[in-house]
Structure 1
Amino acid sequence: MSFDLVELPALSRFTVDRREPLRGDRQRIAQLWPKARVLTIDAHGRTLVADRGTRLVDRPATDFGDAPPDTAVLLGEQDGVAYWAVPRTEDETDVVAPPGRAWFRPELTDEPQWLDLRAVGALLDDTGAGLFTSAVALFHWHRSARFCSACGGRTESVKSGWARVCEQCGREEYPRTDAAVICLVHDGADRVLLARGEGWPEGRYSVLAGFVEAGESLEACVAREIEEEVGVVVGGIRYLGSQPWPFPRSLMVGFEAVADPGEPLRLADGEIAQAKWVDRVDVRRALAEPGSVPDLLLAPGASIAYRMIQSWAAAG
């Protein structure tokens, strides 16, 4: 039995106009700047949110000067309002250490707090989710692209943060995306194959994923990754949907596939700590009330994995 995603994955949502021409239109940018809104993103990919993680806390563009700072990135325009993001400066020292795995179950409050996209991506509205996702993706890329890959010269941000140009040889570079597949394997009936990665919290399970290799199709990657990670041969590979996952720059391409639960599981050493077939009824319980099924905490809501599991559970 096949299924479709019941909703868009949380980080695939966006509403702003992000077409390329605006990024180089200096006159239009100047016109929009006085009424623009600006997000601040810290070095750990967090921004300020309020109302229990449901609202981004932005600031008037005029707080940052009469024109966009050199480090600003344009996220898009909506209803005559331009949205930008800037990196949090080093002298703002009130940010605590990186939260590690705390994003799985963040403590949400009504007061403004600095939180990761993974923690609040599913809680934000469509506009907020799209803005935060784009900002995190762009700043991850800027931090890794400060030097030219051709000559080693320093690069500077251009085109409103959507490109970098080498000061030495003039080569332009653009944000990179790494393709990765993510696949929900089921038995064609009422059982799904879930796995726990090495280093994950005890009881935390999700579907299987891996990066696409050079010269490899998405479908071939699905078959290879699942066989490598859990030793299972799959068929009936079918596309479901996709979602950006900017940690640091992945595009997760979702699939379903069918396998025989009678096949022995052979776990990839150093990658998969545990894997097991789970009944649909237990998945539904775990989704409805996290912690109610022993040894079964599912993927967080911001991930496409969550949407895939949710959709499969609802299909039966």
Structure 2
Amino acid sequence: MHAWMSEASLDRADNRRKVPEWVSAQWRRPGARLLLVDSDGQVATDETGSGPAGVPTSGNYNAQLHTFLGLVDGIPWFTTEGPIIGPSASLRHLGAVTGGAALELTVGAVALTAWHRLEPHCSGCGARTRATAGGLTRRCPVCGRVQFPRTDPAVIVAVIDPDDRILLGRQSSWDPGRMSVLAGFVDAGESLEQAVHREVFEESGVRLREVRYFGSQPWPFPRSLMVGFVADSVSAELTIDRDEIEEAAWFTRADLAADLAEGRVIMPGKASIAHRLITAWQGRLLG
């Protein structure tokens, strides 16, 4: 499990990537790799499906097609969107089985290829923009506006009641039994902490008395940043908003363990910060 809390293993070469000649030279370096991502966000993997697999770079470097991800142990990595011949896997799968630089490459590749595909035009004048800085930005040739990959902040919170139970809920679109901690997007003009209070109250009717930061995780589906919190509830009374969630309930550790063992509850995927929050509570690791 990649905790996303330590120094990055991937060197994004922020200053050097602004020099086109330097980026082009990285493409030609021995050992340089190209990681393919298809239009569904599937990533090329090794035969075991346990990590991303790059192919040697070849042909001419095209700044509009090839995005520079960065350096791993001095080796340049690029990405592009295209059909994958061979094994592939989703970010949800790879996030559960790999970590470190491999996961950072995967997340970066999925996020950047989606951004270039979905937002090729200037938000100011509508002209088609061109990739710059090794694909980390896009510049409009008409009005000069520089665009960066958009990140949508969302809060996700483990709510703990006075009896040390955790609050889990289920959206109607999820499979029966799948439960998770509560989450939602941050509104414009709203702080992260305010979003925690608002989202929890809107979905469950629960008021909070203390909110503590837990950690964060990039979640490019297609461009979210999940910011995790732990919060203590004032009381355990629930008033569920059925437009937001289908059901919600408080769980003791014994309750959750039994429901998981019997298949009545399904945990969030291991790649998610939701899984980290719940398992941290199970292990009595939440401060």
How far residue 269 of structure 1 moved from its aligned partner, in angstroms, is 2.6
Code of the aligned partner of 1:258: D
Specify every segment of 5 or more residues in structure 2 that has no aligned partner in the other structure, as ranges: none
CA contact (8 A) 2:218 2:225 kept: yes
Using structure 1 for the length normalisation, give the TM-score.
0.83
Show the counterpart of 2:272: 303
Deviation at 1:240, TM superposition (A): 0.7
Other structure's SS at 1:315 match:
coil
What code does the residue aligned with 2:262 have? Answer: V
Structure 1 residue 79: deviation in Å? 2.3
More displaced stretch, 304-313 vs 53-62: 53-62
Q: Answer yes or no: is the 8 Å Cα contact 1:10–1:303 preserved in 2.
A: no
- Is the Cα–Cα contact under 8 Å of residues 23 and 68 in structure 2 kept in the other structure? no
- The 2-side partners of 1:228 and 1:125 are apart by 35
CA contact (8 A) 1:239 1:256 kept: yes
2:264 maps to 1:268: no
CA distance in 2 between counterparts of 1:57 and 1:285 reads: 39
Show CA shifts across 1:175-198 (max 9, x none): 111111110001244311000112
Alpha carbons of structure 1 residues 10 and 239: separation in structure 2 relative to 1, 3 Å: closer
Offset of residue 114 of structure 1: 2.1
Structure 1 runs, 4 residues or longer, greater than 6 Å off: 10-13
**2:143 corresponding residue in structure 1:** 169
Deviation string 1:56-76 (CA, Å, 9 cap, x unpaired) is: 1210012xx132452111111
* One-letter code aligned to 2:12: R
User: How many matched pairs?
Assistant: 283
Aligned to 2:201: 227
Query: What's the secondary structure of 1:210's corresponding residue?
Result: strand
Cross-structure match for 2:166: 192
How far apart are the structure 2 equivalents of 1:157 and 1:72?
A: 9
Q: Is structure 2 residue 285 aligned with structure 1 residue 312?
A: no
Aligned with residue 251 of structure 2, among 262, 278, 288:
278
Cα distance in structure 2, aligned partners of 1:311 and 1:68: 45
**Does the 8 Å contact 2:63/2:132 carry over to 1?**
no
- Asked if structure 1 preserves the Cα contact closer than 8 Å seen for 2:156 and 2:181, the reply is yes
Query: Percent of counterpart pairs with the same letter?
Result: 39
- In 2, Cα distance between the equivalents of 1:296 and 1:9? 24
CA contact (8 A) 1:122 1:129 kept: no
RMSD: 2.2
- SS of the counterpart of 1:272? coil
| Structure 1 counterpart of 2:54 | 58
Deviations 1:79-128 (A, max 9, x none): 22101101015xx7x7xxxxxxxxxxxxxxxxx52221012212113111
Tell me the amino acid that sits aligned with residue 83 of structure 1: W
Structure 2 counterpart of 1:49: 45
Deviations 1:172-230 (A, max 9, x none): 11111111111000124431100011210000000001111111111111011000011
User: Are residue 138 (structure 1) and residue 107 (structure 2) matched?
Assistant: no
1:26 equivalent in alignment to 2:20: yes
Q: Does 1:159 align with 2:128?
A: no
Is residue 212 of structure 2 the alignment partner of residue 238 of structure 1?
yes
Q: Does 1:37 align with 2:15?
A: no
The SS at the match of 2:34 is strand
**Distance across 2 between alignment mates of 1:13 and 1:141:** 24
One-letter code of the match for 2:78?
W
Structure 1: gaps spanning 5 or more residues: 1-6, 95-111
Q: Which has the higher contact order (CA 8 A, sep 6+)?
A: 1
Counterpart code for 1:55: G
Out of 18, 39, 61, the position equivalent to 1:67 is 61
What does residue 88 of structure 1 align with?
82
State TM-score, norm by structure 2.
Answer: 0.91
Distance 1:242 1:315, change over 3 A: same
How much has 1:12 moved relative to structure 2?
8.2
Distance in 1, matches of 2:11 and 2:258, equals 39
| Residues 166, 38 of structure 1: alpha-carbon distance in 2 compared, 3 angstrom cutoff | same
Determine helix, strand or coil for the equivalent of 1:213.
coil
